[in-house]
Amino acid sequence: MTPMMDGTENLTFEEALLELEQTVAALESGDLTLEASLSLFERGRLLATRCGRLLDEAQLRVEQLTEDGEIIVLTPPN
């Protein structure tokens, strides 16, 4: 399955993270069948990849907007 066809491509970071948290909670509950656990685990990997990709894109944008990737902190005059 390609990244553009895994069902996560339209999720925002917040949506993907929330679903990932819910997926982890369901897996940790121990109340799932093996098959359901494997399906949820696979979905969790896709969600984690989506979150990572969005974080990488955000980091790149910050680096492009700042000098050498360093955040410039401006302090007001006293």
Q: Say how many C-beta atoms besides its own lie within 10 A of residue 51's C-beta.
A: 19
Task: Write down the domain spans for the chain.
Answer: 3-65
Confidence class of residue 77 from pLDDT cuts 50, 70 and 90?
Answer: confident
- Which stretches within the chain are classed as H helix? 13-29, 34-65
pLDDT value for 66: 79
Does the pLDDT at position 20 exceed 80?
A: yes
CATH number of 3-65: 1.10.287
Give the pLDDT of residue 75.
77
Percentage of the chain exceeding pLDDT 90: 65
